[in-house]
Amino acid sequence: MKVAIVMGSDSDFPVVERCINILKKFGVEVEARVLSAHRTPHLAIEYAMAAEANGIEVIIGAAGKAAHLPGVIAGVTVLPVIGIPIKSSTMDGLDSLLSIVQMPSGIPVATVAIDGAENAGLLAVQILSVKYPELRVKMKQYKKDMADAVVEKDKAIQLKF
């Protein structure tokens, strides 16, 4: 089980790190790279084209502003691609979100919320769980743990009244 996370800039790392933490929590191997769709387009395309042969099963692309990286990657691979729109200074990440989500027909990129790195990691786990049943078991436990935490918080609030 291996997921690649490609970010357009090292300034995206604080957001991407949350995705890495989720993937590691589920025992998924992670490979992280800084490759720009604009500054190193040939390297980004070369990386994406070789990803499947290198054991990558899902690619997560994080990018801000024009945010072309996930789409460029999706254009040259058959692997599932998940885009993380990074909040930018100009339009609070709306520009990034729209750039990633508005892909042309035939080039899908699953897109999470602006700075939604945790959900990108969880979506990658869910995609991988089709092939790896042990991830499905872990995901069921993860969701149960979330529900249990809410129930406990509910009980704590009720005690205050």
87 and 24 within one domain: yes
- Residue 147, pLDDT > 90, answer yes
The CA radius of gyration of the chain, in Å to the nearest whole number, is 17
Domain of residue 55: give its range. Answer: 2-128
152 and 118 within one domain: no
Residue whose C-alpha is closest to residue 61's, from 112, 127, 102: 112
Residue whose C-alpha is closest to residue 120's, from 128, 71, 99: 128
Please count the structural domains in the chain.
2
What pLDDT does residue 153 have? 95
d(CA 52, CA 11): 27
48 and 74 within one domain: yes
147 and 75 within one domain: no
116 and 102 within one domain: yes
What pLDDT does residue 81 have? 98
148 and 75 within one domain: no
155 and 99 within one domain: no
83-138 pLDDT, tens per residue?
999 998 778 999 999 999 999 999 999 999 999 999 999 999 999 999 999 999 99
33-88 pLDDT, tens per residue?
999 999 999 999 999 999 999 999 999 999 999 999 999 999 999 999 999 999 98
Q: Which helix (H) or strand (E) holds 135?
A: helix 133-159
What pLDDT does residue 134 have? 98
What pLDDT does residue 64 have? 94
CATH number of the domain within which 59 lies: 3.40.50.1970
What pLDDT does residue 89 have? 75
What pLDDT does residue 88 have? 84
Q: Is 79 exposed, middle or buried (0-12, 13-18, 19+ CB in 10 A)?
A: middle
| Contact call for residues 81 and 74 (beta carbons, < 8 A) | yes
140 and 80 within one domain: no
146 and 117 within one domain: no
123 and 97 within one domain: yes
Helix axes 133-159, 117-128, angle to 10 degrees: 140
What pLDDT does residue 161 have? 82
pLDDT cut 90: percent of the chain above it: 94
143 and 124 within one domain: no
What pLDDT does residue 133 have? 97
80 and 55 within one domain: yes
Question: For 10, which DSSP code?
Answer: G
